[in-house]
Amino acid sequence: MSAADRPPLNPRARLVSLRSRALSPPCVKNPFKVGEHEECLIEGKVHPKQAQYRPAVGAKCASRYREEFHEIEEIGRGNFSTVFKVLKRLDGCLYAVKRSHNQLLQDSERRQALTEVQALAVLGLHEHIVRYHTAWFENDHLYIQMELCDGTLGSKKLNLMGTREKFLQEALRQVSDGLAFIHSRGIAHLDIKPANIYFSGGVCKLGDFGRATRLDGSISVEEGDARYMPLELINDDYGHLAKADVFALGASIFELARGSPLPSSGSQFQAIRKGRLPLLPGFSLPFQNLLKALMHPNPVMRPSPQDLLKHTLIRTTRNTN
């Protein structure tokens, strides 16, 4: 049916359709916002009609996702969500929309799912962080609209050895810049790995903030992938969360350099956490020593992202994508 043949939009029907959607729960407090006194919905002062999250009942619900976006293809799938490449009907631009696998029926489930949304909203725009646009609940699933990237470092093919080291040095510089910004806002990522480092137009960006927490320990810690976790997190020592991110970044670059996945257990897993890294044939000793510093067994001895940005290898890198 052409646009000319379509019946005129009935504003009243449209209003009823919108009202039939599930209401998003009131945000009692964004735990990543500290020292700000903006008005917000706080417990005991929520409008009566919004006091409790309620799914829509009765007639078939209108879908914001279907109304606003044209789904093109699935581009990613994780333990908790699926990511789709979509075209927004209103502006004609491409985006990524992440949809939770399971319906989030309990308040605790929704609060946990909102961790990524709240962290990204507080961080705002940064060149080396995947851009967040908006989020909503629909039929008890969480949808997050984000910047569409070209892929992740976990999927990128790294070819010639010399080019690989230069590329990884530049990736290390860019992600360190993003990580320094995240830490400056009092946030720890806690799930840095190649699959969560995106690239777009030659620019690396940190994404997937579902495990994010506050550096001051005021939010409970949800541990990420064991392959990139330092020994202190494995031992439930959460006193150096910023340096845990540094270890994970070093482990990610080390994995990309060696060209095969890191172990999740066993003797090699233990050796890496004791600072005994296998040699990387074809890579310079200064580069390998830098990775060893990032993955030092003692978190105090690891450089901060700011220190890393001042390192000779990092300062002299150029984008080789």
Single out the residue of 290, 319, 311, 119 nearest to residue 211, CA to CA.
Answer: 119
**Dist. CA 259–CA 280, nearest whole Å:** 10
Nearest Cα neighbor of 130 from 78, 201, 206, 18 is 206
C-alpha–C-alpha distance, residues 49 and 62, integer Å = 20
> Which residue out of 191, 208, 225, 245 is catalytically annotated?
191
> Is 274 one of the annotated binding-site residues?
no
SS percent in the chain: helix, strand, coil, step 5: 35, 15, 50
Cα separation, 11 vs 9, in Å, equals 6
Q: How far is CA 111 from the centre of its chain?
A: 16
> CB count, 10 Å around CB of 55?
14
Is residue 120 within 8 Å of residue 178, measured between CB atoms? Answer: no
How far apart are the two ends of the chain, measured CA to CA in Å? 45
Residue 33 one-letter amino acid: K
Close Cβ partners of 107 (under 8 Å, ≥ 6 residues apart):
25, 53
State yes or no: is 5 an active-site residue: no
Provide the token pair at 252.
């990610």
Structure tokens at 102: 């399971």
Residue of 189, 269, 195 lying closest to 230 (CA atoms):
269
Distances (CA, A) of 199 to 155, 235, 256: 10, 32, 14
Known binding-site residue numbers: 98
Q: Please list the active-site residues.
A: 191
Known binding-site residue numbers for ATP: 98
